[in-house]
Chains A and B, each alone.
Chain A
Amino acid sequence: MNRRDFLKYSAKGIAGLTLPLSTIEIVSPGEIFADKGSGTRWVFLVDTYKCTGCGLCVKACKLENEVPYEANVTRTWVERYVLTKDGKVWADTPKGARDGFITNKIDLGEGRFQDIKNEDIQKAFFVPKLCNQCEYPPCVQVCPVGATYQAADGVVLVDRNWCIGCGYCIMACPYGVRFFHPVYKVAEKCNFCYHRINKGLKTACVQACPFGARMIGNIRDPEDPVSKVIRNGRVGVIKDEFGTMPQVYYIGLSREVV
């Protein structure tokens, strides 16, 4: 080995060693924005300060998307977080908040409830959840038959004719967004109301929200108000460390939210 080769290999080796650091990446909406491959990339913005936990979004979603109303499954839901002064975190989402939160007791499941005194509350807030339409969706990767896929505009859809109901995708989703549709017996998920956004309408949940806590937009449109907030404002995403590049951005996200 001559000196030139030695220097070449050393440089390559060091570059290779530093490579894994680039995989530890923080939220970079600019990357999605800059990739102007096609005209549209749907993204979602949630302002948790505005959410009041009324659950009208969940009701509208279930009726719009024909998700069985009484079954305990839903495409979108609202979580309540109550942090008490002793440092405990309480969270619940009874029926996915389909009927809102009309008790101050925290639903612990199995018919147990936790009473929290008003004066013990340090902070409390609501977090709406829905499919993140990840840039690198793990649910799509694991599908063995090509029944779930990402469309060119970033929305992940499920082919009801082709899904075999194996449930891999339900296990793969880090956000617990997917569920088994009780009627069609296939995987089901939020698709940003694909039928509505393609007709120029807002999603059912965005339209139903009285407080403007939910917004949908096209991040590749520089004039889109949602795109502007995501690129220029302070926003966060849930479970960034999974590297899926989720495309539901949150204003006022707290550390306790998972």
Chain B
Amino acid sequence: MKSHVLRPLFVVIFLLIAGLIVRHFLIPDGFGTHERGYMYGWHNKNDEQFWKNFPVKYKSSDYCNDCHNDKHSSIMRTPHAIIQCENCHGPALGHPDSPPKLPIDRSRAQCLRCHYPLPYPTSGRQKIKSVDPDEHNPGTECSSCHDPHNPDLEGIKS
């Protein structure tokens, strides 16, 4: 056969081989179909480790209890026992080394998340005591009178 007929074939074969070589270096080793098959599982296996190694920031109240046992045991005797320390004090990652102190959310908005009056008959919200923030000492931090660690009225600050 004449060479001008074969030449495009050689070009195609060369491009194919070049493409395969480039592909080999570009695609990471972990790529494959893996457990969930081609449609749902085609991915780089190494990426699963990236998500497993993501830092944990919320350590839970048990972690706080190791040092702040007094505070922890006192709040456990109140209706606020169900609230995690970190919900108001922020995530404890690195504490007590860095940051040595955790910022406390004392805002009225933080208390109103649960204690704003929403009369919703089919939600758990209805069972929580509430105040109208526009009438109940507006502009004052709740914690200046109430103790969030002892929210019952006998725990009120004088």
**Interchain CA distance A195-B58 in the complex, whole Å:** 12
Residues of B near A50 (CB, < 8 A) are 124
Q: Is B2 interfacial (CB-CB < 8 Å)?
A: no
**Interchain CA distance A160-B50 in the complex, whole Å:** 9
Closest to A146 in B: B42
A211 touches B124 (CB 8 A): yes
Residues of B near A130 (CB, < 8 A) are none
**Interchain CA distance A125-B124 in the complex, whole Å:** 8
Once A and B bind, how many residue pairs between them come within 8 Å at the CB atom?
152
**Interchain CA distance A63-B34 in the complex, whole Å:** 32
Which of B54, B58, B86, B128 is the one whose CB lies under 8 Å from A52? B128
Residues of B near A150 (CB, < 8 A) are 36, 40-41
A136-B40, A146-B42, A157-B48 are known contacts. Are A52 and B123 too (CB-CB below 8 A)?
yes
Contact bitstring A128-162, B, C-beta under 8 A = 1, else 0: 00000000110011000011111110000101111
Q: Is B150 interfacial (CB-CB < 8 Å)?
A: no
Which of A49, A149, A196, A207 is the one whose CB lies under 8 Å from B43? A149
**Interchain CA distance A71-B15 in the complex, whole Å:** 46
**Interchain CA distance A221-B87 in the complex, whole Å:** 30
B56 touches A201 (CB 8 A): yes
B112 touches A210 (CB 8 A): no
Which of A37, A152, A191, A204 is the one whose CB lies under 8 Å from B58? A204
Q: Is B146 interfacial (CB-CB < 8 Å)?
A: no
Residues of B near A99 (CB, < 8 A) are 109, 113
Contact bitstring A167-209, B, C-beta under 8 A = 1, else 0: 0000000000000000000000001001110110100100110
B56 touches A208 (CB 8 A): no
B112 touches A100 (CB 8 A): yes
Which of B56, B60, B116 is the one whose CB lies under 8 Å from A195? B56
A100-B112, A146-B31, A157-B48 are known contacts. Are A49 and B87 too (CB-CB below 8 A)?
no
**Interchain CA distance A198-B54 in the complex, whole Å:** 11
Q: Is B157 interfacial (CB-CB < 8 Å)?
A: no
Which of A51, A65, A141, A198 is the one whose CB lies under 8 Å from B123? A51
Q: Is B114 interfacial (CB-CB < 8 Å)?
A: yes
Q: Is B83 interfacial (CB-CB < 8 Å)?
A: yes
**Interchain CA distance A217-B35 in the complex, whole Å:** 21
**Interchain CA distance A53-B130 in the complex, whole Å:** 14
Residues of B near A159 (CB, < 8 A) are 43-44, 47, 50
Chain A residues in the interface with B (C-beta under 8 A): 37-38, 48-56, 59-60, 63-65, 82, 99-104, 118, 121, 123-126, 136-137, 140-141, 146-152, 157, 159-162, 191, 194-196, 198-199, 201, 204, 207-208, 210-211, 213, 252
Q: What are 12 contact pairs spanning A and B, CB under 8 A?
A: A38-B35, A56-B87, A102-B116, A118-B119, A123-B121, A126-B123, A146-B42, A147-B43, A150-B41, A157-B48, A162-B44, A208-B84
5 closest Cβ pairs, A-B complex = A149-B43, A100-B113, A124-B120, A195-B54, A152-B35
